[in-house]
Structure formats: C-alpha cells, structure tokens
Amino acid sequence: MEKKWSKEAVLEIYNKPLMELLYEAATMHRENHNPLEVQISTLLSIKTGGCPEDCGYCPQAARYHTDIETNNLMTVSQVKAQALRAKSNGSSRLCMGAAWRNIQNNEEFDQVLEMVKTVNDLEMEVCCTLGMMTEEQAQRLADAGLYAYNHNLDSSEEHYKEIISTREYDDRLKTIENASNAGISVCSGGIIGMGESDEDRCGMLVTLANMDPQPKSVPINALVAVEGTPLEDQEPVSIWDMARMVATTRIVMPKAVVRLSAGRTEMSDEGQALCFIAGASSIFAGDKLLTTPNPDINEDRKLFKILGLKPKAPFVDGDQPVSHDGYKECLSTSGNVKWNRPGHKIERNEAAKERAKVLRG
C-alpha cells in the first residue's frame, strides 16, 4: 500500500516556495524516471461531438453552441491509418476518445474493440477514453488488448459539482475501479483553470494519490476555454500554477507518467521546459488534441532538440497486453448498463459508496 496523503500535506507541498518545489520535484523525477525521456502520445477523436453530458469545459457537449463538427464513429481502417501516421511521427501511445456518456453494449463497442486490437497489433500502447464503463466492458477491452483507460476526476469532489451535473464523482471512481480490476492501466487526472481553489487542486491530487494502486498516468490539463461553453470566459491559467501542479503531482505520485496535456498552445517553450523540469514526462503531439488546436509537431521536435529530450519507447512501464480472440465471443448485448436508460435516476448502493470511500482514502 502506497503512502496515504492528507489534503494538508499536499497543500503544504503545493505552497512551497516555487524554487524549492521545483528542486524537490526534479529530484523525485530523476529518482524514478529517465528525465531525458518524454513519451509522445497522440489523441484521436474516434467519435466527435453530440455528447449528452453537461461538462462545463467541453466543446463536445451537444447542449453548448460550439462550432465543432459532429462525426459518427470512425472506421477501423481510418483508425489504423491515423495510428500508423502517429507512430511514424514518434508516438508510442494512441489515445482514442469518444464523446460518449458511457459505453453501450452495441455494434459500435464491437467496432471499438476491433480498433483496440488493430492498434495493439501495431505495438503501440492503446488507451481509450469512452466515458463510464462497467466491469464486463472493461474486461472485454482488456481482452482486446487495451493497455490504458483514461477517465479524469477533473477536479476535487466539491468543485466537480460546479462543473458537471449530469453524473457524480462516485461514478467516475467506479469506472476507474472497473478499469483497474480488469488489469488495465489507469490514466486519471484533471483540469486547472476552471475557477477552482488551490484546495480543490490539491483535493483532486489527494484522491488520486490515495488510490491503491496509484494511477500509472496522470494528465494535467490547462483549461482550453472554448467559445460557446459555460467556461468560455475563464482567464488562462498561469504557467507558474501549471508548473506547481505538475511538480506537486510528481511528488505525490512519483512513479506515474505525468502528462503535460491540454493548453500547450498558450505556453512558451520556456514555460513547457519548466514543466519538464517539474516532472512532466509526456505530451500529446499532433496539431489537434480531440477538437482543439495543439502545437505543430515540428515545433515540438525543435523544443525536444533544444532541451535534449528524446521520445520514450512503448511498454517501458508495463507489458504489452495480449489480444485474445475470445474478446469477440462475449455477448455484446449482455451486461447491465444502468446509466443508459432515459430518465433513469442513477442508483448507488451502499457497497459502491464504501468502495468509493476506500478509493478516496
């Protein structure tokens, strides 16, 4: 069992003089990772827009008037072409995102399972972020060769309520638990710049750091304030806050891959360098995140050269999953997807609440 963290202890780290915090984080980083290696990951939006949720930051929520183009689920061959392109650009991980509230047991899920198998066969780490999922669905993804599942806590439990009303924090924790129980590497982090306090930022880190095991991957996003979303007028987050957040994440989760995620287009090269010193060990590359812009790959190459960084190979932190043909045999219509009934109020039983408490620590 890893060390238990309290909010006070994490806040104390977060509030250290910046020079002290950076030194401690850089030291922790060197003790646990090769500081010259940074994983390059590529995001691919396999199903864009039209999401029924109300996440206040998200351009893909159907209810907000953003100008993103809504698309149907990509085909397996489209995904394969994009994965090969990402690999040839130095990416060792492909994260496929769908604007879904939750996975449904239907043909689209079967298609995603084929995508997972196809990308795993290319010897890339395959990550998916498809919304909430049941234990059975997690197992089917694992059997298809899924390496990691991304499901962000986004903020503290308290601040979460200000940002999203269509689901609860416990739902997020349950999906993370389902991924972990299926042997899938957990990727979970959050966003800063959504009007949260330092306590909220540290509260989220406490929940993540007290998970057993801790997440293997923690994305730290700076809000991309998209016109048409409720958070469109948020002030951009300062680079000093970003470096503080990355450094604190590195110290409380020493083994995790800390991902310098959304928001890099607003950061200078020097600002990003500061985040690498603070312990960031991955970026998303390619000119698009899911729907919003990201720095050009040539700019990233130049920055890596200046800083002496090199891309990290896949599967350094875990074995490549084996794709079992049996993943197809599970009945796609079985499983009890309790979130998907229209007008159905989510029921949480006591056992689930207890599990969530344990996860939160």
Give DSSP secondary structure letters for 199-221.
HHHHHHHHHHHTSSSPPSEEEEE
Query: What's 307's DSSP letter?
Result: H
Based on the residue annotation, tell me whether 275 is a catalytic residue of this protein.
no
Handedness of CA 29, 259, 297, 277 (dihedral sign): negative
Q: Per CB under 6 A, does 95 bind ligand SF4?
A: no
Binding partner of 223, given ligand SAM, ligand DTB, ligand SF4, none, CB within 5-8 angstroms per partner class: ligand SAM
How far apart CA 221 and CA 75 sit, in angstroms, is 28
Binding partner of 154, given ligand DTB, ligand SF4, ligand SAM, none, CB within 5-8 angstroms per partner class: ligand SAM
Query: Where does this chain touch ligand SAM (CB under 6 A) — which range of 52-60, 179-187, 233-241, 303-311?
Result: 52-60
Q: State how far the alpha carbon of 281 is from the alpha carbons of 26, 257, 301, in Å.
A: 11, 6, 15
Q: Per CB under 6 A, does 141 bind ligand SAM?
A: no
Q: Which of 131, 279, 311, 321 binds ligand SAM (CB under 6 A)?
A: 131
**Minimum CB distance to ligand DTB, residue 256 (Å):** 13
- Nearer to ligand SF4 by C-beta: 38 or 163? 163
Q: Per CB under 6 A, does 64 bind ligand SAM?
A: no
- Nearer to ligand DTB by C-beta: 94 or 303? 94
Q: Per CB under 6 A, does 103 bind ligand SF4?
A: no
Point out the catalytic residue in the list 128, 187, 202, 275.
187
Footprint of ligand SF4 on residues 113-172 (CB under 6 A)?
131
Binding partner of 151, given ligand SAM, ligand DTB, ligand SF4, none, CB within 5-8 angstroms per partner class: ligand SAM
Q: Per CB under 6 A, does 285 bind ligand SF4?
A: no
How far apart CA 15 and CA 221 sit, in angstroms, is 20
Q: Per CB under 6 A, does 237 bind ligand SAM?
A: no
- Nearer to ligand SAM by C-beta: 145 or 190? 190
Nearest Cα to 217, choosing from 267, 281, 133?
Answer: 281
How far apart CA 260 and CA 272 sit, in angstroms, is 8
Based on the residue annotation, tell me whether 330 is a catalytic residue of this protein.
no
Helices (H), the chain: 7-14, 18-32, 76-88, 107-121, 135-144, 157-163, 169-181, 198-209, 239-252, 269-277, 297-307, 350-360
Based on the residue annotation, tell me whether 55 is a catalytic residue of this protein.
yes
**Tokens of residue 331, six digits:** 């009945």
Q: Which of 61, 173, 191, 247 binds ligand SF4 (CB under 6 A)?
A: 61
Q: Per CB under 6 A, does 255 bind ligand SF4?
A: no
Q: State how far the alpha carbon of 145 is from the alpha carbons of 59, 87, 241, 324, 327, in Å.
A: 30, 17, 37, 7, 9
List active site positions. Answer: 51, 55, 58, 95, 127, 187, 259
Q: Which residues bind ligand SF4 (CB under 6 A)?
A: 51, 53, 55, 58, 60-61, 99, 101, 131
